[in-house]
Copies of this chain bind each other. A is one copy, B any other.
Amino acid sequence: MRISDETRERVLAAASSLGYMPNHAARSLRRRSTKTITFVLPTLENPYFSEIVGAAQEEARQHGYSVTIVAMRSELGDFRTSSLLQGAAYDGIVVAGHDNCAATELLQLADRGVAVVVLQEPSPSASIGSVRVDLETGGYLATRHLVELGHRRIAHVTQPLRKDEFGGGRVDGYRRALAEADIPFDEALVVTTANSMEGGAEALNALVDLDPRPTAAFMYNDRLAVGGLHALRKRGLVVPDDFAVVGFDGVAIGRFTAPTLTTIDSPRDELGRLAIKVLLGILDGDQEAQEHLLPVKLVVRASCGAERRANPSCVQQPTS
């Protein structure tokens, strides 16, 4: 039976005015694709991940995919047991943060045809994509900057590292910069703490009690640095005069701390977008999943003392 154009239009208009939307489950079942990407994060508390995920969502959207965010609050049990990650609920998955799941799980997913991309880790397999920033260079740049400002006793505040930690992390760059300056590596100056502002505060409190006291610290990330700045202030120490601080990540808060935070800028936007692009490449049937290593750069603000040096007039007032 032929349907007149007029009728067709009436039907379409009625459908859209009634708010018809095709059933997602039925469509996914039939097409064997959900047009959904899952993003697994250790937490949403760190704005670093929020920024990455925001960019990823935007990128995915442009390609007709939606992004589901799963925040693995540590206590909740691990990846394996997570019913959130049900069979074929998503076409692809981006995993950020080491502890969220083991390589074997990811390989299993990849074998089942799910596109997998890991963030901030080398790819465990040719079928798994990887997008990282160059942490080693970041650690090097941060530490070298402190060395250049005359510091010799430079601490590093870090996270508990996985046993199977690959090389190329911040601490490796830290050691390289020290070695380059002929400063012996001192294990007492590397302290491990919880990944939170409180953790950063505790770590700097401990470091400041050391004798001889270090004169600067390179922090694992900006959150820890914010906590550290607070701890120093509370102890009556002036940053950067009494103690210099460098962060990592480059998140927004660093421009609003007292003093403003010198940090290593990690390209969050690019990281999120690229993760999605690599993932879509895998879905499009790329043979080899891509691997990317993104560059970082040093952003000099007030917490390291470089500004003060460059402009001696503002010694007493590290504003900006």
Partner-B contacts on A (CB < 8 A): 19-26, 28-29, 34, 43-45, 47, 50-51, 53-54, 57-58, 61, 64, 66, 68-71, 73, 76, 83-84, 86-89, 108, 112, 196-197, 201, 226-227, 229-230, 233-234, 236, 252-253, 255-258, 317, 319-320
- CB pair A25–B34 under 8 Å, yes or no, is yes
Q: In the complex, what residues of B have CB within 8 A of residue A88's CB?
A: 21, 23-25
Q: Complex Cα distance A240/B169, Å?
A: 41
Give CA–CA (A86, B25) in the complex, Å: 10
A44 to chain B: closest CB distance in Å? 4
User: What's the Cα separation between A63 and B273 when bound, in Å?
Assistant: 33
Q: Contacts A234-B320, A256-B226 given: A24-B66 contact, CB under 8 Å? A: no
The smallest C-beta distance from A225 to any residue of chain B, in angstroms, reads: 10
User: Within 8 Å CB of A53, what residues of B?
Assistant: 44, 71
Q: How far is the CA of A197 from the CA of B54 in the complex (A)?
A: 18
Distance in angstroms between the alpha carbons of A26 and B86 in the assembled complex? 12
Looking at the assembled complex, report how far the CB atom of A230 sits from the nearest CB atom of chain B, in whole angstroms. Answer: 4
B69 touches A68 (CB 8 A): yes
What are 9 contact pairs spanning A and B, CB under 8 A? A19-B112, A25-B25, A44-B50, A45-B252, A54-B71, A57-B70, A58-B73, A69-B69, A233-B319
Assembled-state Cα–Cα distance A159/B27 (Å): 41
Q: Say whether A73 contacts B87, CB under 8 Å.
A: no
- Asked whether B44 lies within 8 Å of A73 as measured between CB atoms, the reply is no
- A69 and chain B: residue at smallest CB distance: B69
Contact of A70 among B23, B28, B66, B320 (CB under 8 A): B66
| Bound Cα distance A66, B84 (Å) | 5
Residues of B within 8 A of A57 (CB): 70-71, 73
Determine how many copies of this chain the complex contains: 2
How many Å lie between the Cα of A256 and that of B256 in the bound state?
Answer: 12
A196 / chain B contacts, CB cutoff of 8 Å: 252
> Complex Cα distance A19/B112, Å?
9
Once the chains are docked, how many angstroms separate the CA of A226 from the CA of B261? 14
Determine the distance from Cα of A45 to Cα of B53 in the docked complex, in whole angstroms.
10
Known pairs A25-B34, A29-B29, A57-B70. 20 more at Cβ < 8 A?
A20-B87, A23-B88, A25-B25, A25-B26, A26-B29, A43-B54, A44-B50, A45-B50, A45-B51, A47-B47, A47-B50, A57-B71, A61-B76, A66-B84, A66-B86, A69-B69, A197-B255, A201-B256, A230-B258, A258-B258
Residues in B with CB closer than 8 Å to A258 are: 229-230, 233, 257-258
Measured between beta carbons, the chain B residues less than 8 angstroms from A83 are: 61, 64, 66
Q: Which residues of B contact A233 (CB under 8 A)?
A: 258, 319
Q: Which of B20, B51, B87, B197 contacts A22 (CB 8 A)?
A: B87
Nearest residue, chain B, Cβ from A22: B87
Contact partner of A45 (CB less than 8 A), chosen from B19, B24, B54, B317, is: B54
Bound Cα distance A309, B216 (Å): 34
Kindly identify which residue among B58, B64, B73, B197 contacts A253, using a CB–CB cutoff of 8 Å.
B197
